[in-house]
Amino acid sequence: MIITGKYPNLRMRRSRKNSWSRRLVQENSLSYNDLILPIFLTDGSNQKIPIKSMPNIYRYSIDKLSKIIDKSIKKKIPMIALFPQTKIKLKNPLGSEALNENNLVCKAIRYIKKRYKNEIGIMCDVALDPYTSHGHDGLLKNSKIVNDETINVLVKQSLLQASMGCDVIAPSDMMDGRIGKIRKELDKNKFEDVQIISYAVKYASSFYGPFRDAVGSKGALRGDKKTYQMDFKNTNEALREVSIDIKEGADMVMVKPGLPYLDIIKNVKEHFKIPVLAYQVSGEYSLIANGIKQGIIDDKVIYETLMAFKRAGSNAIISYFADQINLDF
C-alpha cells in the first residue's frame, strides 16, 4: 500500500469528525438484501417450540410459518432456508424420509409457494443427517461414509425438492462430486433455472452443536464428521474445494462456519470472484445471543459481526439474527 501524505498535513481523523462524513467514506454497507433467514420446521399444528440452546429461535409447524415469512418479506429479506426436525420413528440408516414427497420440507415448500408465489426465495438443504438414524450426512457402511452411493440419494433428494418448487438447492453434505451430478440431473429434468449454493467449504467444527439440537441429530450422531468435513487447520484445501464445485456448476459457494473463518471468505472471494455466502452458524449465534441476554455484551455486536462478513467479501449471510436485527436507520 502506498501512503500519500504524512502528519500533520494528513489527519485521518478529519473524515471521522461528523456522521455525514463517516457515511461518505464508508467502505461497506449492510442491508436486509444481504441476509438469509434459516427456519426450523416441526410436525403438528399450531406449534412454535423454543430451542433451549438458541435464545429467541423456534421450531415452527407449517401452519405457523406465515407470521415469520410475512415479517421477512416486509423487511425485504430475499430468501429463507428450511431445516426439518424429523421424528425419530421416521429415521432409518438410509435416510429414506429425505425422499418422501410428504416430508416436512416438501410440505413446507408447497405451502410457501402456494401462499407467497415468488415473493421470497426458498433454499433447501441437501444432506441426509436430519433423516438418518446414525446422524451422518451420508450413507454409513462398515463404519464408513460411502461417497458415490450417497450422491445417488442426494441427486434424488435434489430433484424432489426442485419438483416441489424449491428455488435454490444447497448441498451441505461435502461428498466429492455431488455438485456436478446434481447439476446434470437438474438440467436433464428441466430444472435448469434452479440454482445451486454449494456448501463448498464446510469445516468439521464444534460450532454446530445447537443446530444439531434443533434438528434432532445430535444425540443420534455416531462418531464425528471429520472424514468428509474439512480440517479447520487448512486454507489451500478450501480453495481447491471451491474450484472443483465451480467447475461442476455451483452458482454460489458457502463458507461455514462464519466468524472464525473470515480469512477463508476473503481468500475465496479474491481468488474466484464468485458470489460467496457466509453461514453465521448456531454456535456463533448462541454465544452472541446468550452474551446479550446476560448483559455481558451490547446487542450492537450483532450488526458488528454481520458487517465483518461483508468486509471480508461475503455477498450474503445466513444468520439467525436476520429477522431480529433492525437495519432501518
Active-site annotation, residues: 202, 256
Contact indicator for 34, 310 with CB cutoff of 8 Å: yes
For residue 243, give the C-alpha cell.
474450484
Q: Which residues pair with 41 in a beta bridge?
A: 60, 84
